Amino acid sequence: MAQKPSLPKGTRDFGPAQMLKRDYILNTIRSVFKKYGFMPLETPAIENLSVLTGKYGDEGDQLLFRILNTGDFLKKTSAGDYEEGAKALSPKIAEKGLKYDLTVPFARYVVMNRGEITFPFKRYQIQPVWRADRPQKGRYREFYQCDADVVGTGSLICEAELMAIVNEVYTQLNFNDYKVSISSRKVLEGLAALCEVSDKFTAFCVILDKLDKIGEERVAEELSTIGVSSQNLEKLKELLNTTGSNQEKLGTFREAFVNSEVGLAGLDELSETFEHLKGLKVTTDQIIFDPTLARGLSYYTGIIYEVKPTSISMGTITAGGRYDNLTGVFGMEGVSGVGISFGIDRIYDSLEELNLFPETNSDITQILITNFDKESEAHALGILAKLRSKNIKAEIFPEAAKLKKQLNYANNKGIAHVLMVGSREIESGEYVLKNMETGDQQTATIDALANLLS
Amino acid sequence: MAQKPSLPKGTRDFGPAQMLKRDYILNTIRSVFKKYGFMPLETPAIENLSVLTGKYGDEGDQLLFRILNTGDFLKKTSAGDYEEGAKALSPKIAEKGLKYDLTVPFARYVVMNRGEITFPFKRYQIQPVWRADRPQKGRYREFYQCDADVVGTGSLICEAELMAIVNEVYTQLNFNDYKVSISSRKVLEGLAALCEVSDKFTAFCVILDKLDKIGEERVAEELSTIGVSSQNLEKLKELLNTTGSNQEKLGTFREAFVNSEVGLAGLDELSETFEHLKGLKVTTDQIIFDPTLARGLSYYTGIIYEVKPTSISMGTITAGGRYDNLTGVFGMEGVSGVGISFGIDRIYDSLEELNLFPETNSDITQILITNFDKESEAHALGILAKLRSKNIKAEIFPEAAKLKKQLNYANNKGIAHVLMVGSREIESGEYVLKNMETGDQQTATIDALANLLS
């Protein structure tokens, strides 16, 4: 009868040790979001496929998890549908799916609640999403996204605030070895104009994005295949090799973009964002104007940014940008927004690799009360109640057991203190307190103990 | 092109106002769980159907949401499978499903991690579950469960601790109008033995459970149809009408159960649990021994309990009990446990109906800084940075706008204070602070303001 249970590919359990660390990260981010005026939103895991499909491209559509209609799901089908194959049958037997990201459900929420929302609307959302991707190291089929967005305003203060959030989150996590790359889709458009390949914008960006990986020469080769002249390649090369501060680089670009209205607009927006950052007293040492940054260009229309660790090889840990038309696909035009997304799994792995998780965790039981016999149990329960009434996280070993077993329990659970309660201690009113880390023992009354732990 | 988006039946968005209230409830419960030594666990939404099916009875199996296999899901099927119908085809095209509760995934987790878990294992879990039930008022297809369990010990201290948690959670929520009913499956077995219908235990319990709804006479009628003699009906009636304290009632039952070993064991366990509650200084005024309580008898084997509001009609808001064999279905025998489950939706509705949600919520922005023109913006951003550096939740209206619009924004969002920053204020260093609740205005320096809000 008994079966050996297993987990679906690409899914994970988070046991207590992992959960405490994940909560440490998520609680930090959540508290910063709140401090900056973002409010929580949750949307269901299940969405109608009519909401999800067509929003993520063909590839995305294929990665949607589809939920079989309940009851007789073949009711509306015919043998002919079956013969046509899975692709034809699927929409007739599955009308709902699991959400693929937090953005499309957010757009749906905004459209459905437009009458009640006060704009600008600042929301954060921390929930799992699902993708039927091929699982591999660091890529899961069910994973959390952690997003904050402001919609309903084009103000670049929002961009600066999101950068300030990045700074505050990583400062609070004691994670300082990172770099923020910032640019704008409009800068890329300016570069394409400069190279006289505005009609091949996407191809141009794809090639430029490879600069880090394949180097200047091969990028030049590829750009020439899409029609960039050698003269323009020279101009581009010189521009991209500009050094200096962000302000200096923006100045050099301004000269080169003199004929590109969109390019200049992008530079103005970057300058204004840097101004706002100064106003917000955010140090910009780690924020670098990187004109080759090309991410999310199918939806981002303005400023874009990404955060990567500098001392370890981890990829992007946070990213975002401005989009012009969040809700257009649902018939509500003109809603501009800007967002940021923290990659929880990679932040977790980074803190782990850099040994940055705090040694103590305030979510763990502070003290275990031993249990040696029925006689001392009632007394021990009274001590437990007293400690808890002082808001101390405390527990009792629920059954009489050998000391070693109980110490082992405390040790494995990371409980810092064990209080010995036996008949001798009850009589004297002085209890032995063992510090599990140092092994030190001291005697104390319950009141003294409560003060020590509070 | 544009479509009007909708939500699947039985699912909900939780907007900011609801989320703040839900978080208030969940954070309260979570903090109490931690105070009592419970550690967090999360399992995936998606489970293999081999793990889920057969665990909830035929009805439960039908309520599982099944996920269509990805790719060509018809690959392993034939036209014959299609002809056989949905029930035959389903297992061949859907191998995964959404979890139906938190208990079976918890059992799977315990079995898969038995080597690493230190028992007794105290875990809490707060996650959504899915059931393809017919949606109706108060019944959803996606809803949160909020469970705490201790597994790997038979100690009745655990039962008492869970009662203490109920007491502490509802005290912290200022929700005092509730009653805890407590009994044991073994007491029901004792009653069935007394009535000489031990062989018809389930039918006996189903009838007894209707006492509140259909009254004594009709229960007696129904019991006689399953073979309870009129003499035994008299004995039962007398016993169930016993009044007095819990101790007095338990004493009366003890006399009646003199020939029922299992019945006496149930009474002993209840007495011991009440003893532990006394040890834990938990007032038992609201905890009532109710021998007719019959819930979850397909899995509970020992003590059972449920919590209901007394001043409103709401049904059960919290319930649980002891089970003997959590993991047997996965081949790991002898794991006894006891658990409790808080019904978040009903607690939410109860607090709403009784007007018990606190008026202020510490998750909301404390102060909005106005934005009238580009000139004052940089200065205002500096004030914003200063307030946040003192851990005050603050935001700036991101674009210049009329005062009315900005006050409206603060009002709708529940922000308690608005700080006016214009050229005059910048010059004087004294800012006008408006209290949005009273309408009062005062002038203050930023330092004075920060002290006021901290």
For chain A, say whether B387 makes contact (Cβ under 8 Å). Answer: no
For chain B, say whether A59 makes contact (Cβ under 8 Å). Answer: no
Q: Are strands A303-309 and A287-289 parallel, antiparallel or unpaired?
A: unpaired
The answer to whether A266 touches A289, Cβ cutoff 8 Å, is no
CB distance A132–B396 less than 8 Å?
Answer: no
Q: A12: which 2 tokens?
A: 């994970």
Same domain for B312 and B174: yes
For chain B, say whether A54 makes contact (Cβ under 8 Å). Answer: no
Q: What is the DSSP letter of B6?
A: -
CB distance B89–A66 less than 8 Å?
Answer: no
Same domain for A109 and A94: no
The answer to whether A380 touches A353, Cβ cutoff 8 Å, is no
Rounded to the nearest 10 degrees, what angle do helices A230-240 and A211-225 cross at? 160
Residue B59 is which amino acid?
Answer: E
Domain boundary among B297, B318, B353: B353
Please compute the mean of the pLDDT values over residues A231-254 and round it to a whole number. 96
In a domain, B195, yes or no: yes
CA–CA gap between residue A45 and residue A10 (Å, rounded): 17
pLDDT at A158: 98
Peptide bond into A40 cis (omega under 30): no
Sheet holding B367-369, edge to edge: B394-396, B367-369, B417-420, B431-435, B441-444
Rounded to the nearest 10 degrees, what angle do helices B230-240 and B211-225 cross at? 160
Report the greatest alpha carbon distance in chain A. Answer: 94
Please compute the mean of the pLDDT values over residues A182-186 and round it to a whole number. 97
Overall residue count recorded for chain A in this entry: 454
Same domain for B340 and B289: yes
Residue written as token pair 């940089």: B378
CA–CA gap between residue B212 and residue B223 (Å, rounded): 15
**If you compute the radius of gyration of chain B from its CA atoms, what whole number of angstroms results?**
29
Residue A8 is which amino acid?
Answer: P
Of all helices (H) and strands (E), which one includes residue B184?
A: strand B178-184
CATH (domain of B408)? 3.40.50.800
CA–CA gap between residue A262 and residue A212 (Å, rounded): 25
Residue A342 is which amino acid?
Answer: F
Nearest CA in chain B to A21: B40
pLDDT at B11: 97
The answer to whether B17 touches A113, Cβ cutoff 8 Å, is no
pLDDT at B137: 87
CA–CA gap between residue B28 and residue B22 (Å, rounded): 10
Domain that holds residue A271: 16-43+100-353
Q: Judging by beta carbons within 10 Å of its beta carbon (0-12, 13-18, 19+), is residue B373 exposed, middle or buried?
A: exposed
Same domain for A136 and A81: no
Among A330, A363, A412, whose Cβ lies nearest the Cβ of B118?
Answer: A412
Residue written as token pair 């609801």: B18
Please compute the mean of the pLDDT values over residues A306-327 and round it to a whole number. 95
Same domain for B269 and B191: yes
Same domain for A39 and A57: no
Of all helices (H) and strands (E), which one includes residue B94?
A: none
Same domain for B179 and B117: yes
Residue B159: closest CA among B304, B262, B318, B300:
B304
In a domain, B2, yes or no: no
| Count of other CB atoms within 10 angstroms of residue B320 | 26
pLDDT at B2: 59
Q: What is the pLDDT of residues A317-352, one digit of tens each?
A: 999 999 988 899 899 999 999 999 999 999 999 999
For chain B, say whether A377 makes contact (Cβ under 8 Å). Answer: yes
Q: In chain A, pLDDT over 90 holds for what percent of residues? A: 91
In a domain, B112, yes or no: yes
For chain A, say whether B433 makes contact (Cβ under 8 Å). Answer: no
DSSP states of A342-366 = E-HHHHHHHHHHTT-S-S--TTS-S
Contacting residues of B for A426, CB less than 8 Å apart: none
Contacting residues of B for A16, CB less than 8 Å apart: 39-41, 123
The answer to whether B256 touches B192, Cβ cutoff 8 Å, is no
Same domain for A68 and A105: no
Is residue B440 annotated as involved in ligand binding? no
Q: A201: which 2 tokens?
A: 């914008």
Would you say residue A293 has pLDDT above 60?
yes
pLDDT at A205: 95
Same domain for B86 and B29: no
For chain B, say whether A330 makes contact (Cβ under 8 Å). Answer: yes
Same domain for A428 and A443: yes
Domain boundary among B353, B377, B400: B353
Is residue A101 annotated as involved in ligand binding? yes
Please compute the mean of the pLDDT values over residues A35-51 and round it to a whole number. 98
Q: Cα–chain-centroid distance for residue B260? A: 35
For chain B, say whether A212 makes contact (Cβ under 8 Å). Answer: no
In a domain, A8, yes or no: no
Give the bridge partners for A307, in sequence order: A180, A318
pLDDT in tens, chain B (454 residues): 456 899 999 999 999 999 999 999 999 999 999 999 999 999 999 999 999 999 998 899 999 999 999 999 999 999 999 999 999 999 999 999 999 999 999 999 999 999 999 999 999 999 999 999 998 888 999 999 999 999 999 999 999 999 999 999 999 999 999 999 999 999 999 999 999 999 999 999 999 999 988 999 999 999 999 999 999 999 999 999 999 999 999 999 999 999 999 999 999 999 999 999 999 999 999 999 999 999 888 889 999 999 999 999 999 999 999 998 889 989 999 999 999 999 999 999 999 999 999 988 899 999 999 999 988 999 999 999 999 999 999 999 999 999 999 999 999 999 999 999 988 889 998 999 999 999 999 999 999 999 999 8
Angle at B68 between CA B63 and CA B69, to 5 degrees: 135
Backbone angles phi, psi at A116, to 5 degrees: -100, -15
Rounded to the nearest 10 degrees, what angle do helices B261-279 and B246-256 cross at? 160
Sheet holding A431-435, edge to edge: A394-396, A367-369, A417-420, A431-435, A441-444
Is residue B18 annotated as involved in ligand binding? no
Is residue B295 annotated as involved in ligand binding? yes
Contacting residues of A for B98, CB less than 8 Å apart: 45, 67
Query: Integer distance in angstroms from the first to the last C-alpha of chain A?
Result: 51
**Is the alpha carbon torsion for A286, A292, A296, A298 positive or negative?**
positive
CB distance A409–B68 less than 8 Å?
Answer: no
Nearest CA in chain B to A111: B5
Is residue B445 annotated as involved in ligand binding? no
In a domain, A297, yes or no: yes
Q: A230: which 2 tokens?
A: 């050698």
In a domain, A218, yes or no: yes
Determine the residue among A46, A335, A366 to mutate to test chain B binding: the one whose Cβ has the most chain B Cβ atoms within 10 Å: A46
Q: B310: which 2 tokens?
A: 């007394």
Q: Are strands A96-98 and A121-130 parallel, antiparallel or unpaired?
A: unpaired
Same domain for B224 and B249: yes
Contacting residues of A for B276, CB less than 8 Å apart: 377-378, 381
pLDDT at B352: 97
CA–CA gap between residue A66 and residue A48 (Å, rounded): 10
Among B40, B395, B413, whose Cβ lies nearest the Cβ of A23?
Answer: B40
Name the pLDDT band for A290 (thresholds 50, 70, 90).
very high
The answer to whether B405 touches B411, Cβ cutoff 8 Å, is no
Contacting residues of A for B113, CB less than 8 Å apart: 13, 15
Residue written as token pair 């301004």: A254
The answer to whether B101 touches B90, Cβ cutoff 8 Å, is no
Q: How many domains does chain B have?
A: 3
Residue B365: closest CA among A276, A118, A22:
A118
CB contacts < 8 A (A, B)? 322
Peptide bond into B16 cis (omega under 30): no
Contacting residues of A for B395, CB less than 8 Å apart: 36-37, 122
Name the pLDDT band for A2 (thresholds 50, 70, 90).
low
Would you say residue A157 has pLDDT above 70?
yes
Lowest mean pLDDT among A64-68, A75-79, A147-151, A176-180: A75-79
CA–CA gap between residue B290 and residue B343 (Å, rounded): 21
For chain B, say whether A143 makes contact (Cβ under 8 Å). Answer: no
CATH (domain of A139)? 3.30.930.10
Please compute the mean of the pLDDT values over residues A288-292 and round it to a whole number. 95
For chain B, say whether A88 makes contact (Cβ under 8 Å). Answer: no
pLDDT at B195: 96
The answer to whether A106 touches A127, Cβ cutoff 8 Å, is no
In a domain, B10, yes or no: no
In a domain, A362, yes or no: no
Domain boundary among A62, A78, A98: A98
Among A45, A65, A109, whose Cβ lies nearest the Cβ of B142?
Answer: A45
| Count of other CB atoms within 10 angstroms of residue B182 | 25
CB distance A8–B44 less than 8 Å?
Answer: yes
Would you say residue A375 has pLDDT above 80?
yes
Q: What is the DSSP letter of A296?
A: -
Residue A103 to residues A70, A317, A337, B19, B60, Cα–Cα distance (Å): 27, 18, 11, 18, 33
pLDDT at A163: 98
Same domain for B51 and B39: no
CB distance B7–A47 less than 8 Å?
Answer: yes
Among B70, B73, B120, whose Cβ lies nearest the Cβ of A398?
Answer: B120
Backbone angles phi, psi at A242, to 5 degrees: -55, 135
